Amino acid sequence: MLQKNKLYLKTFGCAQNESDSERVKTYYQDKGYKLVDDWKKADLVVINSCVIRESAENRVYGLIDEIRKAENSKSKKKKIILTGCLVPISKKTIKGVDEMMPIKKISFKVEALRDKNRAALITISSGCNNYCSYCIVPYSRGKEISRKMDDILKEVDEVIKKGFKEVVLIGQNVNSYGADFGEKSIVSMGKKRFLSVFPRLLEKVAKKDLKKVSFISSNPWDFSDELINVIAKYPNIDRLLHLPFQSGDDEILKRMNRGYNKKEYLDLVKRIRKEIPEVRFSTDIIIGFPGEDEKAFQNTVDVCKKVGFEIAYLNKYSPRRGTVSAKLYQDDIPMGEKKRRWNILNNLVNQKKK
């Protein structure tokens, strides 16, 4: 029998990368590759990279190094293709890499090779226009582009036909889905204003034969009443809502360019709870953003106490090249202090159920 070339695919980072990787798998299978679960057995290694924090980026370099160091004069040299978020922000080919492949090369027409035991991941938009001051995503993933609603609904129908009962709709900010279609339904909170078609898309998906419809991420400033009403109306929409707040301190939120303050966030939680009493929340928090003194940190603790999150993803601030916060502010909170605050929040939110 003909020996197939072997591919090892490593995915770092968020659900959007996982979703992209599911299409990368099909792309290479169609080229005749067989997937293997260990890079040592592979001829080709594809790395789908993440750069959200320095530690994530370093794990990518670490893997490339590990592979190259293990090679000797007798072994066949592996081909390494780098894709994902490190590619668009790199000026040169990364050391040890043979090819830098923009993830855009793998079109949405390529069918995803999905994990049957999990919810089907469905990307609804890519990129981001929000420019939170700490965040590299608008640079690494470019501006927000929404997929056509018909294409998304067709994909949902396909996964239902394949037997999936749960879907997760994915975008960096799903609430602004369709803003680039130029339709007029304006949502606003604080000072940000734009168009949103997301509640309509969500309703169309929820009407289908699905046990659970989830979505990530939904940001506070454009979480509209229309969206709350759609969630309330369809019991198959996930009651665990991911609503990142990043910080509970108004001054820090302003520096983060988040477009809401502590009171507006807590009011939104209240508004959602009023319409959907059984709702639960999860969140993302950045610990040790520049200038986060004890008082600012206590505001974050206070939001956690008031909301009672089920899970909080705790991220120690990491300055990222090219971002506004990295240019304007010193990373002035020592690592030891970031760890102390991390422990406090972890005990408060994530340990309480154990």
Where does this chain bind ligand SF4 (CB under 6 A)? 128, 130-132, 135, 137-138, 172-173, 219
Partner whose binding site includes residue 138, from ligand SAH, ligand SF4, none (CB under 5 to 8 Å by kind)? ligand SF4
CB of 228 to ligand SAH, least distance (A): 18
Residue range at the interface with ligand SAH (CB under 6 A); choices 26-34, 59-67, 133-141, 223-231: 133-141
Told to check if 134 binds ligand SAH by CB under 6 A, we report yes
Angle at 160 between CA 156 and CA 163, to 5 degrees: 145
CB of 25 to ligand SAH, least distance (A): 23
**Which residues between 7 and 66 bind ligand SAH (CB under 6 A)?**
52-53
Residue with tokens 């996964």: 159
CB of 325 to ligand SAH, least distance (A): 7
Nearest alpha carbon to residue 297 among 337, 354, 257, 238: 337
Considering only 50, 253, 269, 286, the residue that binds ligand SAH (CB under 6 A) is 286
Q: Map residues 230-259 to x or -, x wherever contact with ligand SAH holds by CB under 6 A.
A: --------------x-x-------------
Q: Enumerate residues 6+ apart whose C-beta is below 8 A from 289.
A: 134, 246, 247, 252, 255, 256, 317, 325, 333
CB of 222 to ligand SF4, least distance (A): 10
Q: What is the dihedral of CA 29, 34, 39, 42, to 10 degrees?
A: -110
Told to check if 173 binds ligand SAH by CB under 6 A, we report yes
CB of 284 to ligand SAH, least distance (A): 3
Per-residue burial over 96-113, b if 16 or more Cβ lie within 10 Å, else e, is bbeeebebeebebebebe
Residue range at the interface with ligand SAH (CB under 6 A); choices 76-84, 271-279, 290-298, 314-322: 314-322
Partner whose binding site includes residue 206, from ligand SAH, ligand SF4, none (CB under 5 to 8 Å by kind)? none
What single-letter DSSP state applies at residue 350? Answer: I
Amino acid at 7: L
Neighbours of 272 (CB within 10 A): 20
First to last CA, the chain: 52
Q: What is the dihedral of CA 320, 323, 327, 332, to 10 degrees?
A: -50
Neighbours of 315 (CB within 10 A): 21
Neighbours of 235 (CB within 10 A): 11
Number of residues that bind ligand SAH (CB under 6 A): 17
- Enumerate binding residues for ligand SAH (CB under 6 A): 52-53, 134-135, 137, 172-173, 217, 219, 244, 246, 284, 286, 315, 317-318, 320
